[in-house]
Amino acid sequence: MNKPAEIGARVPLWIAGKPAPASSGRTGPVYNPASGEVVRHVGFASAADVDAAVRAALAALPDWRDTSILRRARVMQKFLQLLQENHKALARRVSEEHGKTLPDAMGSVQRGIEVVEFACGIPHLLKGEYSENVGTSVDTHTVRQAVGVCAGITPFNFPAMVPMWMFPVAIACGNTFVLKVSEKVPSTVMRMAELFRDAGLPDGVFNIVHGDKEAVDAILNHPGIAAVSFVGSTPIAKYVYETCARNGKRVQALGGAKNHAVVLPDADLEFATDALIGAGYGSAGERCMAISAVVAVGAAGDPLVAALARKARAIKIGPGDADRVDMGPLITREHRDKVSGYVDIGVKEGAKLVVDGRGFRLKGRENGFFLGTTLFDHVTPKMRIYQDEIFGPVLVVLRAQTIEEAIALVNANPYANGTAIFTESGGAARRFENEIQVGMVGINVPIPVPVAFYSFGGWKSSLFGDLHVHGIEGVKFYTRTKVVTTRWPHQDTPAPGFHMPTLG
Ligand code: NAD
Residue 491 maps to a domain: no
In a domain, 454, yes or no: no
In a domain, 416, yes or no: yes
Positive or negative torsion for Cα 299, 308, 355, 399: negative
Domain that holds residue 408: 259-443
| Residue 84 and residue 160 in one domain | yes
Asked if residue 218 has its Cβ within 6 Å of ligand 1, the reply is no
Quick one: 184 and 319 in the same domain?
A: no
Task: Give every strand in the sheet of 479-487, ordered side by side.
Answer: 130-135, 138-146, 479-487
Kindly give the distance from the C-alpha atom of residue 232 to the centroid of ligand 1, in angstroms, as a whole number. Answer: 3
What pLDDT sits at residue 263? 98
* Residue ID of nearest Cα to ligand 1 atom 10: 182
- Judge if 227 and 289 occupy the same domain: no
Q: How far apart are CA 334 and CA 354, in angstroms?
A: 24
**45 CB under 6 A from ligand 1?**
no
Query: Are 302 and 226 in a shared domain?
Result: no
Query: Do residues 217 and 286 share a domain?
Result: no
pLDDT averages per 10-residue partition of the chain, 504 residues: 70 98 96 97 98 98 98 98 98 98 97 98 97 95 98 98 98 98 98 98 98 98 98 98 98 98 98 98 96 98 98 98 96 98 98 97 96 98 98 98 98 98 98 97 88 95 96 97 93 76 69
> Which CATH number belongs to the domain containing residue 250 in this structure?
3.40.605.10
Count how many domains the chain has. 2
Cα distance between the two ends of the chain: 59
- Three-class DSSP category at 341: helix
* C-alpha 228 – ligand 1 centre gap (Å): 14
Q: Residue 269's domain is classified under what CATH number? A: 3.40.309.10
Shared domain check, 309 and 288: yes
How many Cα atoms sit within 13 Å of 186 on the Cβ side?
Answer: 28
In this structure, the answer to whether residues 232 and 329 fall within a common structural domain is no
pLDDT of residue 3: 67
**31 belongs to a structural domain:** yes
> Is residue 458 within 6 Å of ligand 1 at its C-beta?
yes
Q: Which of 11, 165, 166, 182 has most ligand 1 atoms within 8 Å of its beta carbon, as the pocket-test mutant?
A: 182
Ligand 1 centre to CA of 182 (Å) is 8
Domain presence at residue 420: yes
Atom of ligand 1 lying closest to residue 391 CA: 31
d(C-alpha 76, C-alpha 416), whole Å: 33
Mutate to test the pocket of ligand 1, among 236, 258, 415, 456 (most ligand atoms within 8 A of CB): 236
Is residue 177 situated within a structural domain?
Answer: yes
Query: Rounded CA gap, 152 and 396, in Å?
Result: 33
Q: Assess if residue 63 is contained within a domain.
A: yes
Confidence (pLDDT) at 208: 98
Q: Are residues 189 and 292 in the same domain?
A: no
- Residues 224 and 356 both lie in one domain: no
In order of 190, 275, 276, 305, 427, the CA distances from 269 in angstroms are 44, 10, 10, 10, 19
Q: Is the C-beta atom of 186 inside 6 A of ligand 1?
A: no
Clarify whether residues 466 and 410 are in a common domain.
no
Q: Are 132 and 89 in contact (CB under 8 A)?
A: no
Q: Which residues are catalytic?
A: 288
| Domain membership flag for residue 293 | yes
Q: Which ligand 1 atom is the nearest neighbour of the CA of 458?
A: 41
Long-range contact set of residues 37-43: C-beta below 8 Å, sequence gap at least 24:
37/367, 39/96, 39/97, 40/7, 40/8, 40/9, 40/10, 40/11, 40/187, 41/9, 41/10, 41/11, 42/10, 42/11, 42/183, 42/186, 42/210, 43/10, 43/11, 43/12, 43/13, 43/210
Query: Do 107 and 150 have their domain in common?
Result: yes
Ligand 1 center to residue 303 CA distance, Å? 36
**Could you tell me if 246 and 268 lie in one domain?**
no
Neighbouring residues of 370: CB distance < 8 A, sequence distance ≥ 6 = 34, 317, 328, 329, 330, 336, 360, 361, 362
CA of 211 to the centre of ligand 1 (A): 13
List the beta bridge partners of residue 31.
38
Whole-number Å distance between alpha carbons of 462 and 441 = 14
| Ligand 1 and 213: CB distance under 6 A | yes
